[in-house]
Structure 1
Amino acid sequence: MDSVQAAKPLFSIGLDLANSVVSSDILRNSWAAISELQSQIDRNYQSQSTPSSETVKIQEFKHPEYKIIAFVTPPVASSHLQEEGDLVPSSSSEASEFQFLCSEDTPRINKAAIYLFNSLRDKLSPLKDQVATSSKSIPHIITGDRLGGSIASLFTLWLLRALGSATKNRPLCITFGSPLIGDVGFQQAISQRSTWNPCFLHVAHMDDYFPRLFLLSTAERSLYRPFGTFLLCSESGGACFEAPDTIIELLTLMSQERNGGTADSQIFNYKSVIECLERRLICKTHSAFSLPDADSFKAGINAQVTAIGLMQIQNMDNYALWRKIAMAEKDVLEQKNRAFDPAKALNKMKVNLAYFEWYKNTCEDDGRGLGYYDSFKNKMFRRDHTVVKFKTELEMYWKDVVEEAEKRPQSASAPMRIRWLFAGTNYRRMVEPLHIAEYYKFGNRSYISRGRSKHFKLLEQWLEEHQKQPQNSDPNNSKIKKITSNLTEDSCFWAHVEEARITCRLLNSGGSNSAEIKNLVDFEKYVMGLLKSHAVTSDIFLESSSYMQWWREYEDVLSKQLMGTSHNSELIRYMNDGEYHCY
């Protein structure tokens, strides 16, 4: 009997995560730093409705195991934030420091937060360099409340980009009562980086107006999206949630069911909230909130919703709420579990590419005068059919790698780390010729403009952009050339050959077109350029290769067309003199 492997049970850890955060001292110490800065803000500043670089307090606080950097702004009137509730694209000049977030969807960021961040850049730039250096030896917590929390989030993002992926001590950003600052593109740009999203913890109390500021308008609700982890709390307790849909649902319910005050109301004091959470943690365990349920994941969601006090709301369809929250949180958890990790499959892809090396060498050495391009195109032998499996697996893998790289936030010049760019270049130059062979086998034309896969185009584009960078012009470019020295550098070489053959056949059939003759002359120059730079491999000169077939067809064109009496190109001399035998 075939055994069916049972699916692994899912568990919701939102309550345990909240308890873990509360049991540490990071919330208490972060709010203490904010409170100290609030007391330093001059009363003259408190009356200003528009914070500026002069009114924002930034200070570092040292603790034995970490450092805290706090951002505090004067109380911000609702009129100011609502006037600046618009979103600006990260590709714009206003948000130039966050253009690295751009991917397929251009993220948009709250205008008030961006303008205030820009006014602080002279202070933040040296601070970023300082933290990037000291983070190698000690962790950092970046914190702030309200609009100060928004600046803390933007500074943390800026810092994460500077630190790079190899940094172990990534900063933790903790905000208190901060409004949402970006749209769905902003949220996705952060969540695409698996090491970035966990760096953000947003604390929001049910009675605090500010976290729900941009959810009160129907128009704005569809624009702003949360990112990171939210610790939602009430007098009943607290729980953590990660799914953006869940967070919006709960923040909206808070707005509808609680009297949260207005944006002009007194600053919400999270000191008492933290103390309440600490007392409840001492007096109760999370089991006090647990409800019996055979489904462990649903039971966890029940406990989380109960912990933040929503079970006590009157006239609410609890089952519908649980179902909506459970589905959203489960989706996020399952996405984490099945997240594409190219490193896990890289070794297998290396084995597949090694098979291609064997296939290429075998085709060239079997004495039939066919390289691997033409052997695959004709598919006369078993090995030509076997290699299809390896080709398909490599194609699926690299399409996923390129798609993930395209989605991630990045600078325009570095969509891929150099190691992956090397591997992708090797793959493209080895495997794309077989795509070209399949394309032209069935009588198609114009592969480059009509049939070329997007992932091949992007791999080539990223390599070209990398090679244009002055700092990378010597060592890394030479490494790429060395790694792929046994492959033709232009992975579309055979497409150019096929187009040249089609043109020759048209001319040999009696047609005469100056544009077609010009195309052949251009092809000659193209090939000669590759030969001079040693950018093409010797298998193109095998007796039965498509290139040599083109040459023989081209000789017929030269003898039949008017250009045959006068045309004497460098490539013609090269081929007629037999210099290619020594290539």
Structure 2
Amino acid sequence: MVGERLGERIKVREELIKKACSLSFKAHKSPGKPYLLEKVRGRALPEVIFVFSGSWSIGDWFSSTSGKAFGETKVDLDLFPSLRNIGNVDEVAAVNEAFFRRFAEILRTSSFKNEVNKAVTDKKQIVFAGHSSGAATAILATLWFLDHNLHVQPNKTQIITPLCITFGSPLLGDRIFPHSLRRENWDNFFIHFITKHDIVPRITLSPPSSIQQDFQKFLNILKTKSPITTHENVSNFFVTVMKNVQSVTSHAACNMMGSTNPLLQTITSFVQLSPYRPFGTYILCSGNGKLVVVENSDAVLQLLFYSCQLKSGQEIEEVGYESLKEHSGYENELEGSLEMQNVVYLDNYLKEVPLSSDASVVGEAATVNAALNDLGLSTRARLCLRAAGELQEQKQRNERKINSNKKEIEEKLKIIQDYQKGCTLRKVGYYDTFKIQKDDRDFHANVRRVELAGLWDEIIEMLKRYELPDEFEGRKEWIELGTKYRRLVEPLDIANYYRHSKNEDTGPYLVKARPKRYRYTQRWREHAERMAQGSSSESCFWAEVEELKSRNKPDEDMGKILELEKDLSAWVERGEIGRDMFLGESTFAKWWRELPEGHKRGSCLAQFMNN
């Protein structure tokens, strides 16, 4: 909605924004301190603001030891367990190593952790803030807080969610960052202010090797605030950065628009593009009092390039000067902009942005068009914004399609659940009945198994291609449905696998054959309930039994046997797995009776087997 006050929309007091900005610049004057701490009293909800200073040394912006073209490294999952793809466990977020190293040092050597814990105990609103590279530290501090207070300890229901407010922040994480934060519903905790020409939010889209010669000179200017006229290399620096920004955004735009040109793949095989991507809410200051608010990260990436173009007749030296001036001028810019309250919320209009600067539009569309004109957006830029909006809408359409299949999934699961009950009534275990395949009921259960596989594989393929909203894997109803599906149907998949002796050609089910539809749904539950990875493996029980049975080496496998018995006892007690495996003629019961007598007498399963 155009005209809604900024503070009301983003749920942040405007006075707090000004305070955070002022403190962020104040922190630069005390670079020896890891952070400044400001306590705001006199409010119903007291605030504690942690502000981090920036660094003017190139080594604190790009690491020379990471071995990567853009100085990135995989995140430390002990510090940031949520920064990963849940289903594709190998997809761990990448972070700028220099920024991460600086935050890790603060966490290790300062009183920061104790101060944060004290603020949590005192039930205060915690705000992390910073300008320039200090903003990168503030972002990492917020992520650390979220993971260690809201994710690892989800039962701390009284914790007040934090805020992160940054000014002129560089990009510091790859595409897994926005994906993870939207999945966790944390994206709206991050508020980033950037100005139209500030080059710093674009810097990490360039490889350090391309700007090495001029970057330290640029940082020295920011540090000393020396006159621009004495530094001719700033223009070259600006041009080099923007050329790299163009490469990244053009490639991203082609992908958004569904380009099938093989040249795209060819180019990326020998031209490395920056992995860094925006996330959170961006507030772009147009320079004349307007504020453009954007949450769509694909749209923000495009704006980083197209809002920083030369106007007709404008010299590159002038824009280079503006980039320095604007990076140091956030306090004045925000003072005027927050007073004017000329705010446009672009996400509502992405799919319908006017394609021409002089388009004949009225009402709110005219206000949006005026803001885009102030940013100097070309027709191509507007097409890219539309593509970002359309991509998000396509993901939502895909989710609606998946949701329309939900009833069918539940109906087929009900049929299999009834089949399972029937097996128990016949005094034959669910697993073994299906494995033997003696009558029509087994056949019909197998048909439902195959049909469900198709429905779930469609979901998994969409997730692998990032064609569903990032929030999907955090939806409670789908986590519960995925768990129910896995527990009911995976034992049938395992029975079918060993019935046809596929293990003799392909290998163990768990190593070579377990479908992604079960791996993904298991990880959804483990992540949602903060369980150790691999601990919710109750649906794989029969595969473990089959492999132990085929090896027939109980002395060598006693460690695995004890672990399996311990897990099975817990699963049965919690009702996560049925008791039909204890029936006398089940595959499990026959195998267990062949174990050494001494082991069986002391087994935690003896009570079940004897009954």
Q: TM-score, normalised by structure 1?
A: 0.64
Q: Contact between 2:61 and 2:133, CA under 8 Å: does it hold in 1?
A: no
- Cα distance between partner residues in 1 of 2:418 and 2:451: 17
For 1:370 and 1:338, the matched residues in 2 are separated by 41
Distance 1:70 1:465, change over 3 A: closer
- What displacement does 1:202 show? 0.8
1:248 pairs with 2:227: no
Alignment partner of 1:306 is 2:288: no
Structure 1 CA distance for aligned equivalents of residues 116 and 6 of structure 2: 31
Q: Deviations over 1:459-514 (max 9, x none)?
A: 88999999999xx9xxxx9xx99xx8xxx9823256349x74xxxxxxxxxxxxxx
1:529–1:223: structure 2 CA closer, same or farther, 3 Å change rule?
closer
Q: Return the match for 1:127 from 110, 115, 119.
A: 115
Q: Is the 8 A contact 2:103 2:137 kept in 1?
A: yes
Taking the aligned partners of 2:343 and 2:488, their CA distance within structure 1 comes to: 64
Please, which of 76, 79, 89 is the counterpart of residue 73 of structure 2? Answer: 89
Q: For residues 209-234 of structure 1, what are the alpha-carbon distances to aligned partners after superposition, in whole Å with 9 as ceiling and x for unaligned?
A: 32223241628862221111211121
The separation in 1 between residues aligned to 2:414 and 2:367, in whole angstroms, is 52
Matches within 5 A, 1:314-329: 316=378, 318=379, 320-329=380-389
* Range with bigger deviation, 213-222 or 126-135: 213-222
Distance 1:282 1:153, change over 3 A: closer
- Are the structure 2 counterparts of residues 260 and 308 from structure 1 closer, same or farther at C-alpha, using a change threshold of 3 Å? farther
Q: Deviations over 1:32-89 (max 9, x none)?
A: 34325645765xx5xxxxx4435x4232324635554445455644756655595342
CA RMSD of aligned residues (A): 5.8
Supply the distance in 2 between the matched residues of 1:76 and 1:550 (Cα, whole angstroms). 65
1:201 aligns to 2:191 (yes or no): yes
Code of the aligned partner of 1:151? T
Question: Shift of the alpha carbon at 1:349?
Answer: 7.7
Stretch deviating more after TM superposition (343-352 or 384-393): 343-352
Matched with 2:497 is 439
Corresponding residue of 2:216: none
Inter-CA distance 582–390: structure 2 relative to 1 (3 Å threshold): same
Note if contact 1:23-1:281 (Cα within 8 Å) is conserved in structure 2.
Answer: no
C-alpha separation in 1, matches of 2:14 and 2:273? 28
Counterpart-to-counterpart distance in 2, 1:247 and 1:491: 49
What CA distance in whole angstroms lies between the structure 1 residues aligned with 2:325 and 2:540? 66
Aligned-pair identity in percent equals 21
Partner of 1:212: 202
Superposed, 1:36-185 pairs within 5 Å as: 36=23, 38-39=25-26, 42=29, 45=30, 51-53=31-33, 56-62=35-41, 64=43, 66-72=45-51, 76-77=55-56, 79=58, 83-84=62-63, 86-91=70-75, 97-98=79-80, 100-103=82-85, 104-121=90-107, 122-135=110-123, 139-164=125-150, 167=157, 169-185=160-176
Residue ranges of structure 2 left out of the alignment (5+ in a row): 65-69, 206-240, 245-270, 312-318, 467-472, 573-577, 602-606
Q: Where do 1:358-369 residues align within 5 Å?
A: 358-366=418-426
Q: Report the alpha carbon displacement of residue 250 of structure 1 after superposing the two structures with TM.
A: 1.4
Task: Measure the CA separation in 2 of the matches of 1:353 and 1:302.
Answer: 52
The answer to whether the 8 A contact 1:173-1:200 is kept is yes
Query: Structure 2 CA distance, aligned partners of 1:213 and 1:163?
Result: 32
Equivalent residues of 2:72, 2:94 under 8 A apart? yes
The change in CA–CA distance for 1:384 and 1:177 in structure 2 (over 3 A counts) is: same
- Deviation of 1:260 after TM superposition, in Å, equals 4.8
Preserved contact between residue 196 and residue 375 of structure 2 (Cα < 8 Å) = no
What is residue 188 of structure 1 aligned with on the other side? 179
**Alpha-carbon shift at residue 417 of structure 1 (Å):** 12
- Rounded to whole Å, the distance in 1 between the matches of 2:53 and 2:367 is 37
Secondary structure of the 1:183 match is coil
State how far apart, in whole Å, the 1-side matches of 2:405 and 2:111 are. Answer: 44
Counterpart for residue 231 of structure 1: 283
Distance apart, 1:30 and its partner CA:
2.0
Map 1:559-570 → 2, pairs under 5 A: 570=597
2:209 is the alignment partner of 1:222:
no
> Are 1:26 and 2:13 matched, yes or no?
yes
The structure number with the bigger radius of gyration is: 1
Change in Cα spacing, 1:521 to 1:416, as seen in structure 2 (3 Å) is farther
Q: Are 1:41 and 1:74, in contact at CA under 8 Å, matched by a contact in 2?
A: yes
Number of the residue aligned with 2:512: 450
Matched positions, count? 492
Distance in 1, Cα, partners of 2:608 & 2:15: 76
Matches of 1:404 and 1:131, distance apart in 2? 38
CA positional deviation for 1:203 = 1.0
**Counterparts of 1:124 and 1:387 in 2: how far apart (Å)?**
58
Q: Secondary structure at the match of 2:101?
A: helix
The Cα shift of 1:192 comes to: 3.1
Q: Report if the CA contact (8 A) 1:107-1:183 is conserved.
A: yes
Question: Contact 1:371/1:542 (CA < 8 Å) preserved in 2?
Answer: no
* Maintained 8 Å contact 1:41/1:57: no
Q: Deviations over 1:405-460 (max 9, x none)?
A: 9x9xxxxxxx9999999997776554322112222444523434332234546788
- Please give the TM-score of this superposition, normalised by the length of structure 2: 0.61
- C-alpha contact 1:177 1:208 (8 A) present in aligned 2: yes
Contact 1:143 1:152 in 2 (8 A): yes
Change beyond 3 A, Cα 1:271–1:393: farther
AA matched with 2:121? T
Contact kept in structure 1, 2:412 and 2:448, CA below 8 Å: yes
Matched, 1:490 2:490: no
User: Would the alpha carbon gap of residues 541 and 212 (structure 1) be closer, same or farther in structure 2, given more than 3 Å must change?
Assistant: closer
Q: Matches of 1:461 and 1:31 in 2, distance apart?
A: 42
Q: Which amino acid aligns with 1:234?
A: S
User: Paired residue for 1:277, among 337, 340, 364?
Assistant: 337
In the alignment, structure 1 segments of 5+ residues that lack a partner are 1-12, 46-50, 408-414, 501-515, 555-567
Distance in 1 (CA, whole Å) between partners of 2:172 and 2:72 is 10
Equivalent pair of 2:48/2:125 in contact (CA under 8 Å):
no
After superposition, the Cα gap between the structure-2 partners of 1:302 and 1:465, relative to the gap in structure 1 and judged at 3 Å, is closer
Confirm or deny: 8 A CA contact 1:89 1:106 kept in the other structure: no
